[in-house]
A and B are shown apart, each in its own frame.
Chain A
């Protein structure tokens, strides 16, 4: 009886675990609502992500069937062929194998593999080899330890960490084609609901594309370990309506605001190390190690999404970056309180 109980406990546990996994996945999928900030690879919002999801569901279905069949056979044989007390001391029939059965369980898996391969190859080709249409928006994304630089060469826009792209109407597509570069180590660009991930590797330019089918904020982050602050190299993509996108581009194309009331702050900025790393359009500051600050106030977050863009956070970030993002390459500036206030006021005018 002990043996019987064991086998039943064993199978019950596995079935429970399986059900639990299934329910948790279903719950997670149900929660995938754009307003909650939960990202889900099964809630695609662009054509390449949809193609990947369709293939994924197909692969999941096939592997799910294999799982159910083999799982059932295993559980059945464990329960059916458990040793019983009455059999003690007797050996079962000694069977050495069967060529027919071996052939069956060789050929059937080979056929399944061929089907899965063909489906995958089709999806890879459709996603990777898609031609770039005339209306595409081109963006160069450059990975830095630990932030993102976005350049729109055709539009003359340079920004950081928060990517703005237009929504794409399937009738008149305006997809975004990204060229991926790295300034230092390897990074990976991953917005789960817009596309699979592609790495940013130094000396190895990569490409990817996406055509978002609805507006909204899409979250993601660096997926390839890139150093101390890999975890806080967050990514925000704002998918705008065509009008909003055009307005955003116009705003980004303006030179930096020159506000005489913050001249002190600007002088502090330009007479300290700030300008070695940061650029502010149409001023002497043209550093490229850090994010371009020309339109800093048009961004919702600072430090690559590690903090919201408020004057208090900005002040803390300039004074002691480690308090927000330990290991970030921004140095603690050690400014006097009055200089710090002046610089923050200056930053606040860079709309």
Chain B
């Protein structure tokens, strides 16, 4: 560790006209500003898709409810799923990767700043294209409507025979365009991590966050490509008379399923691996111990990356594959559970013997651990092809993946926001409001998603806009909806906290958590050039070495 820990005060800039500020933000190629843009953009879509989820839950509160029509309901769940996966989940994680990776590896920017800006604006365009369908899907002169084919858009529902107008085209183009953006960002993250590390930071000293984002970006490169190919094939079907997926003309519905899920399953790991990365940074700091089993954590992540490429057809256990294929995808799916379990055990090993501080980022991380444990175990149940023949396509699956994506990804993202908000804004988030947010969200989450498993076991299929009374689903659905509203209240408190703390929060200083990675060595918010002098590191925890010169990590690694 060298002089890079010297505090560099933020450059004092005079107040500029807002048009100039706006112009700076729109034309920026700074990785930190692009990271913040990604995060804000994703939070906007989190609220939009959250409102869609609330409308869905109002409709399902009672059997034979008439709050929305079936057509509107089908559009809502399509938009909710597509938005949350492509325009909330991926952008917010790319945002953190953009913001944090250069800071944590001691670089002054990403490898390709202009590609970075281009990728963000492509992804942004994708989201706006999807929502423009509300106005333009039947042609600019007609009333528009949103896509209603589900977020998997299974063939042949997307064929022109079953999906007239342009709503499916907006869905296709939105994913195509944002897919290009994702590929650009993934290339950028890989290049940055491989080529821009500061002196002394060899791969075995790199923070786990950088390692995990490296694996995630590799998976994006591999898995977005088939999705992009499938979207192009679908466009050819719809506009150039192709018959890839057009079953009325001999096309194959199964082909779409394979293309979609060979993207779709790695995709959930693309979403969860960056959250593993947050856990691997936050849990050690609030347990006051280094991460347990660093090399094993890296190996387990790479293992997840490889194995998760061979599990996609567990989404297709009901489509009539033969018993050998079903057995193969059972073993691969369950095999992913091994490295994932290793990660949970290593976080447990990190907390073991530590002095755990229950600050809000750590509360969300602990919530993540419990919920991800349950999500993993229901995943093993769904990975057993025979058990899955009952569970798949039911509300049990809906409960399982919300456990992963809300209990895992959203909790992980909240932990990350509470942890790095001080670095990004220079202000602490309010701890009391944060605890209210955590406990309310936790209660709402468990009320909604614990109970949601049960209607699935009682035969309730997913994606139904209403249901018959007397099937044992009524009370459960009412309680599930109540939980959704409790979560919504918690989100409001979170948004209020973000805004109030931005103006009135306590000053953060450089290193409010007494942490060990390079981003905490510079001012909050960091200056445009990040590091006045490029740092040199000698271990995985450069700031530990600096704070404990008598007992540096470099002595043990």
Residues of A within 8 A of B (CB): 3, 6-7, 10, 13-14, 17, 20-21, 24-25, 28, 31-32, 36-42, 49, 51-52, 55-56, 59-60, 63, 66-67, 70-71, 73-74, 77-78, 81-84, 87, 90-98, 101-102, 105-106, 109-110, 113, 116-117, 119-121, 123-125, 127-129, 145, 180, 184-186, 188, 190, 192, 195-199, 201-204, 206-207, 219-232, 234, 326-327
Contacts and interface: CB of A to CB of B under 8 A. Distances in A.
A116 B380 contact: yes
B225 interface: no
Nearest to A52: B386
Of A40, A60, A124, A195, most B-chain CB atoms within 10 Å = A124
A66 B356 contact: no
A197 B471 contact: no
Nearest to B158: A185
B351 A128 contact: no
Contacts of B478: none
A228 B320 contact: no
Interface stretch (B98-106, B187-195, B290-298): B290-298
Given A128-B323, A223-B461, A234 B338 contact: no
B341 A92 contact: no
A25 B247 CA distance: 41
Contact of B384 (A55, A202, A203): A55
Interface string B464-480: 11111011100010000
Interface string B317-335: 0111011001100110011
Contact of A228 (B70, B326, B341): B70
A180 B463 CA distance: 21
B289 A77 contact: no
Contact of A106 (B338, B373, B381): B338
Of A36, A123, A207, most B-chain CB atoms within 10 Å = A123
Contacts of A6: 358, 363
Contacts of A10: 363, 366
B289 A95 contact: yes
Nearest to A105: B345
Interface in B76-97: none
Given A83-B288, A222-B461, A63 B380 contact: yes
Nearest to B378: A63
A325 B357 CA distance: 56
Nearest to A41: B390
Contacts of B318: 188, 196-199, 223-224
A56 B334 contact: no
Contact of A59 (B250, B252, B322, B384): B384
B320 A83 contact: no
B491 interface: no
Interface in B125-163: 148, 150, 154, 156-157, 161-162
B374 interface: yes
B349 interface: yes
A60 B385 contact: no
B348 A196 contact: no
B317 to A, nearest CB: 8
Of B162, B346, B459, B557, most A-chain CB atoms within 10 Å = B459
Pairs of residues from A and B, 5 with the lowest C-beta to C-beta distance, nearest first: A196-B389, A231-B464, A206-B320, A39-B459, A202-B247
B370 A125 contact: no
A121 B322 CA distance: 12
B354 interface: yes
Contacts of A232: 466
Contacts of A117: 327, 330-331, 334
A6 B380 CA distance: 31
A128 B327 CA distance: 11
Contact of B470 (A17, A36, A70): A36
B465 A3 contact: no
Given A39-B458, A71-B370, A81 B354 contact: yes
Contact of A40 (B254, B345, B451, B458): B458
Interface string B333-368: 011011001101110110111111110000100100
Interface string B417-460: 00000000000000000000000001100100011011001110
A74 B254 contact: no
Given A39-B459, A204-B320, A92 B353 contact: yes
Contacts of B292: 95-98
26 contacts: A13-B443, A21-B450, A40-B472, A60-B381, A63-B378, A74-B348, A81-B287, A83-B358, A93-B353, A95-B292, A96-B293, A97-B296, A101-B293, A113-B331, A116-B380, A120-B384, A124-B326, A124-B330, A184-B162, A202-B253, A204-B253, A219-B471, A221-B464, A225-B462, A225-B463, A232-B466
Contacts of B454: 21, 24-25, 28
Contact of A52 (B290, B389, B442): B389
B379 to A, nearest CB: 10
